[in-house]
Amino acid sequence: MKMQKSRLQPSFLRSALFCLPIAFGLAACNEAPEQEIETISADSTSSPFGDQAAVGAEKFAANCAACHGANLEGTTLGPLLSGRPFMQRWGERTPSLLFSNIKANMPPGGNEGLVDADYLAITAHILNTNGVDGITAAITTTTEFKIAENASAQLANRQRSEPPAPEGITVAGNVDEFVPFVPITDAMLESPNPADWPMIRRSYDAHSYSPLDQIDTTNVGSLSLEWVWNMHEGDSEPSPLVYNGIIYLINPGNVIQALDGKTGELIWEHWTGPANRQDMRNIAIYDDKIIQATTDARLVALDARTGKQLWETAVADNSQGFENSSGPIVADGRVILGLAGCARYIKDDCYISAHDANTGKLEWRFNTIAKANEPGGDTWGELDDIFRAGGETWITGSYDPELKLTYWGTAQQKPWVPVSRHLTIHDEGLFTNSTVAVNIDDGTLNWHFQHVPAEALDLDEVFERVLVNRGEEKLVFSLGKYGILWKHDRVSGEFKGYKETVFQNAFTDIDSVTGRVTYREDIQNAKLNEWTSACPSSAGGKDWHSMTYHEPSGLMIAPLSQTCLENAAREVALVQGGGGLAASRKFFEMPGTDGNLGKIGAYDVDTMEEVWSHQQRASFHTGTMSTGGDLVFVGDLDRRFKALNARTGEVLWETRLGTSVQGHPVSFAIDGKQYIAVTSAVGGTSPRTVPDVIATEITYPRWGNALYVFSLPEE
Amino acid sequence: MTYSKLTQTLSRVSKLCLSLVLVISASSLTLNEAIAAEASGFRARLSPMPTTPQTKNTITGGGEAVASLAGNRLTLTGEFAGMSSAATMAHIHNGPPAQPGPVVAALTATAGTSGKLSAEIELTDEQVAALKANALYVQIHSATNPAGELRGWLFAQP
């Protein structure tokens, strides 16, 4: 019924693991690798272990190399499984645990035809390649020794032949030589200068809206390239910061650059490390500091003038799998930050944390997983605390300075399917897949709404919370992978309405009064290794690409994706250190969309009706950004960067960049001249993998991270 | 959309079917145009069955089917191309969008990696109701993908 309804709208045109890229250092997958790296492996002939590893090498080549590289060196689709990073993650763990984690999670497309002996052989190959040479017996499902204790460290360290990455400042300079640096205050962040884009999504309310109106619907057709800057390679989904004419740009691998916005001149560059080519979506600016979360879950402050490091603190223990892919906001003098990589069965779980912006000192944490003796702790069945996993906060939240509440989305329970979690569809799992409104002063929970209790398809509701005022109403909007636009009162948390923005068949009912969802029966009762077919897929609906609120028209304009998935749960043993995601997935076009993966939908925030949509074959890979010139900017997989009329959806301008357009467009002004900036980028999880297996005809270079800056030609 | 509403938009359907038929094959143009003029039209975009990075190059192709309903009689024609191996069977199945279901009827399909589809089928009242609820789909099986290589749900044309 829902399908038919959406088809009748007047304008029917219309993300191992896919949401947690490398919780186990194992990946969702995609393309064949192209690297040529010297293979160095232990002399493994003439022992049962060596023979097992030799078989494993073949199995690895057939099942794993497409993502992790022929020599375990990693690709943009899957992390390297060798050398120091591997030993950091696995050195203190055992072969049996490595075996069970690989078996439960890899390969993500399904494991039909792979038996325990194959997984053991692959495990042996990974160990052998990492210099495990202290054993001769073939490993079994119960082989228990610390991996590092049987490996030649020297061999493991020779795995990567690249020169060592730089550390610290690589290009020295001072912003003051370009423009006098003025420290940025709370007041300036609460009401940003129209010329600036001083945080992710520009403002605390996460509108991704620039009031600048020099570029408008009448002249956008003349928009031209001002300058371009190539960025470091790796997975990239960045949101540049712009303050007082200076662009602060987060690059893959935890590298930050300061660029003169007018000319593209590099002022300084700082390598915080680790130099791992991993993705970080955003950084923050406060006072005279650039504040950076790192992919290995540290928090670092740099001098905004020079890039010099000022302080550093640990957010969580990276060796336990914790990581960050999004950075902080700074509100009320506090750095507010989420956490990811929380799918393991370990004592610690995910949290939102607040640190003193001047020192990095921890002020509070809000835990997203309720332990047995805590409020909400009875929503996890009989599960021991150690096996309660998920609830990542992998997308940066928003903030209401009047209410002094910070709003965050949380990811779903892990593993992905209730039966894999040893739970049922009735075990809601607080505070996963929820909106949480947290008091900024002490980190206590003010209210929460769980959008999808007991989530069962890897479709999380973690994305940005957009704060909108309509008359006396203070609202919060969110849009998760199910493609449902949710509207809540942000003072009380009361449910105010919803809109299905793309076809979904996961829920048979969404209660119009309470917002309570009811899963389809076969999804409720999904058994191990039983395929379930549902829409949307793990690419969303909507994913990390943020939506924009165009206040002048009252429209919420969202980048959406139309694909579906088949999902089958895998078995996960309840063992300490285990866990994971544990499902096989396949992907297909969403019926009734005519093969259009990409959709931009505009929704009236009062009526929740769709006002216009723009649909196309290529999926969209940037957030939407709207402007005072009644424009909305967005970029796609097919290298197109477009400007649409925010009120009608009409495409007014487009250009083609070097590779897929990915990131968050921003607008800023220098000396009264407006600029539009966007990144081209590669890498990512479901939002990339799913289109790559469905829209196989769309091609683009596999490298080409860059920042493009556009403006109107001089009169 | 209700059946009566559909019949009120016959001329639009006719135009749409004409353009679709042109895409599909010149030889079936007259037939489809005639059918469209007196019956309600449906269309399915045929696209690969669920794929993964490992299977995206072995589950391939695309196509289109158009169908018209006169009373309970469904007339379907279509075309497909680019499959990884020759078609072995084609069926209409009953299942709501994106949810696989049982076979309703067999279609005639060219035994090649590309070719044509056709069928004249007398549907039951339940099957007609399913069609109008977008719950019938076309599936083509191939030698190397016996579980199906191409699939597409039939949707009423506006």
Please state, for a pLDDT cut of 90, what percent of chain A lies above it: 81
Residue A712 pLDDT: 98
For residue B47, the chain A residues in CB contact (below 8 A) are 588-589, 595, 694
Residue of B nearest to A592 (CA): B155
Residue A35 banded pLDDT, cuts 50, 70, 90: very low
> How close, in Å, is residue B109 to chain A by CA atoms?
22
- Tell me which residue in B53, B57, B134 faces A3 most closely, judged by beta carbons: B134
Instruction: List the single range of A24-28, A97-101, B86-90 with lowest mean pLDDT.
Output: A24-28
**B152 touching A (Cβ < 8 Å):** yes
For residue B60, the chain A residues in CB contact (below 8 A) are 696
Cα-based distances in Å from A421 to A502, A525, A571, A574: 28, 13, 9, 8
A465-487 per-residue burial string, b: 16 or more CB within 10 A, e: under 16: bbbbeeeeebbbbbbbbbbbbbb
Instruction: List the single range of A210-224, A228-242, A616-630, B39-53 with lowest mean pLDDT.
Output: B39-53
Residue B15 banded pLDDT, cuts 50, 70, 90: very low
Domain hosting residue B33, numbered range: 3-52+59-156
Mean pLDDT within B66-83:
97
CB-based contact A31 B53, cutoff 8 Å: yes
Residue A131 pLDDT: 84
Instruction: List the single range of A9-13, A228-232, A293-297, B129-133 with lowest mean pLDDT.
Output: A9-13
Mean pLDDT within B131-153:
98
Does residue A77 have a pLDDT over 80? no
> How close, in Å, is residue A59 to chain B by CA atoms?
14
Does residue A649 have a pLDDT over 50? yes
For residue B155, the chain A residues in CB contact (below 8 A) are 7, 591-592
- Tell me which residue in B53, B97, B133 faces A505 most closely, judged by beta carbons: B97
Cα-based distances in Å from A456 to A300, A303, A344, A377, A380: 36, 44, 18, 19, 14
Q: Which two tokens stand for residue A656?
A: 């083609």
Residue A248 pLDDT: 98
- The rounded distance, in Å, linking the Cα atoms of A91 and A665 is 41
Helix, strand, coil share of chain B (percent; to 5): 25, 40, 35
Among A2, A5, A6, A7, which would you mutate to test the B interface (most chain B Cβ atoms within 10 Å of its Cβ)? A7
Does residue A646 have a pLDDT over 90? yes
| Number of structural domains chain B divides into | 1
- Tell me which residue in B47, B53, B134 faces A588 most closely, judged by beta carbons: B47
Residue A67 pLDDT: 77
Residue A398 banded pLDDT, cuts 50, 70, 90: very high
* Averaged pLDDT of chain B: 82
Instruction: List the single range of A134-143, A660-669, B117-126 with lowest mean pLDDT.
Output: A134-143
For residue A587, the chain B residues in CB contact (below 8 A) are 50-52
CB-based contact A505 B99, cutoff 8 Å: yes
Among A64, A588, A697, which would you mutate to test the B interface (most chain B Cβ atoms within 10 Å of its Cβ)? A588
Residue of B nearest to A522 (CA): B99
- Tell me which residue in A7, A12, A30 faces B53 most closely, judged by beta carbons: A30
- The rounded distance, in Å, linking the Cα atoms of A459 and B32 is 42
For residue B153, the chain A residues in CB contact (below 8 A) are 591-592
The more confident residue out of A714 and A464 is A464
Whether the bond between A274 and the residue before it is cis, its omega within 30 degrees of 0, is: yes
Instruction: List the single range of A16-25, A423-432, A547-556, B28-37 with lowest mean pLDDT.
Output: A16-25
Please state, for a pLDDT cut of 70, what percent of chain A lies above it: 92
> How close, in Å, is residue A653 to chain B by CA atoms?
29
CB-based contact B99 A590, cutoff 8 Å: no
Residue B40 pLDDT: 79
For residue B48, the chain A residues in CB contact (below 8 A) are 588-589, 694
For residue B135, the chain A residues in CB contact (below 8 A) are none
Strands A466-470, A434-439: pairing is unpaired
Does residue B142 have a pLDDT over 80? yes
Number of inter-chain CB pairs under 8 A, A vs B: 96
Among A6, A587, A702, which would you mutate to test the B interface (most chain B Cβ atoms within 10 Å of its Cβ)? A587
Mind listing the pLDDT tens digit for each residue in A559-592?
Answer: 999 999 999 999 999 999 888 888 999 999 999 9
- The rounded distance, in Å, linking the Cα atoms of A541 and A561 is 5
Amino acid letter for position B2: T
The more confident residue out of B107 and A153 is B107
- Tell me which residue in B56, B100, B156 faces A696 most closely, judged by beta carbons: B56
- The rounded distance, in Å, linking the Cα atoms of A519 and A453 is 10
**Closest C-alpha to A447, from A463, A431, A459, A460:** A431
> How close, in Å, is residue B128 to chain A by CA atoms?
15
**B155 touching A (Cβ < 8 Å):** yes
Please state, for a pLDDT cut of 90, what percent of chain B lies above it: 73
Q: What is the CATH number of the domain that holds B39?
A: 2.60.40
SS3 (DSSP) at B58: coil
Residue B84 pLDDT: 98
- How many Cα atoms occupy the beta-carbon half-sphere of A558 within 13 Å? 33
* Averaged pLDDT of chain A: 91
Mean pLDDT within A502-526:
98
Does residue A302 have a pLDDT over 90? yes
Among B1, B45, B52, which would you mutate to test the A interface (most chain A Cβ atoms within 10 Å of its Cβ)? B52
> What φ, ψ does residue A714 adopt, rounded to 5°?
-60, 145
Helix, strand, coil share of chain A (percent; to 5): 15, 30, 55
How many other CB atoms are found less than 10 A from the CB of residue A287?
15
Residue A264 banded pLDDT, cuts 50, 70, 90: very high
**B52 touching A (Cβ < 8 Å):** yes
The more confident residue out of A692 and B7 is A692
Whether the bond between A211 and the residue before it is cis, its omega within 30 degrees of 0, is: no
Amino acid letter for position A556: M
> How close, in Å, is residue B132 to chain A by CA atoms?
9
Cα-based distances in Å from B102 to A318, A406, A504, A514, B91: 49, 50, 21, 36, 10
**B146 touching A (Cβ < 8 Å):** no
Residue A65 pLDDT: 85
Does residue B35 have a pLDDT over 80? no
Helix locations, chain B, DSSP H? 3-8, 10-24, 29-38, 125-132
Does residue A88 have a pLDDT over 60? yes
Among A566, A584, A689, A698, which would you mutate to test the B interface (most chain B Cβ atoms within 10 Å of its Cβ)? A566
Mind listing the pLDDT tens digit for each residue in A335-349?
Answer: 999 999 999 999 999
CB-based contact B48 A694, cutoff 8 Å: yes
CB-based contact A689 B53, cutoff 8 Å: yes
For residue A4, the chain B residues in CB contact (below 8 A) are 1, 133-134
Does residue A40 have a pLDDT over 70? no
> How close, in Å, is residue A37 to chain B by CA atoms?
23
**Closest C-alpha to A18, from A706, A681, A691, A477:** A691
**B158 touching A (Cβ < 8 Å):** yes
Residue A157 pLDDT: 54
Residue A101 pLDDT: 87
Mean pLDDT within A508-524:
98
**B151 touching A (Cβ < 8 Å):** yes
Mind listing the pLDDT tens digit for each residue in B92-137?
Answer: 999 999 999 999 999 999 999 999 999 999 999 999 999 999 999 9
Its sign, for the CA torsion A500, A503, A504, A510, is: positive
Residue B31 banded pLDDT, cuts 50, 70, 90: very low
Residue A93 pLDDT: 86
**Chain A positions touching chain B (beta carbons under 8 Å):** 1, 3-4, 7-8, 12, 29-31, 63, 66-67, 77, 107-110, 503, 505, 533-535, 564-566, 585-592, 594-595, 689, 692-694, 696
Residue of A nearest to B101 (CA): A533
- Tell me which residue in A63, A587, A692 faces B50 most closely, judged by beta carbons: A587
- The rounded distance, in Å, linking the Cα atoms of A665 and A198 is 13
Residue of A nearest to B138 (CA): A591
Q: Are A656 and A701 in contact (CB under 8 A)?
A: no
> How close, in Å, is residue B34 to chain A by CA atoms?
24
> How close, in Å, is residue B27 to chain A by CA atoms?
24
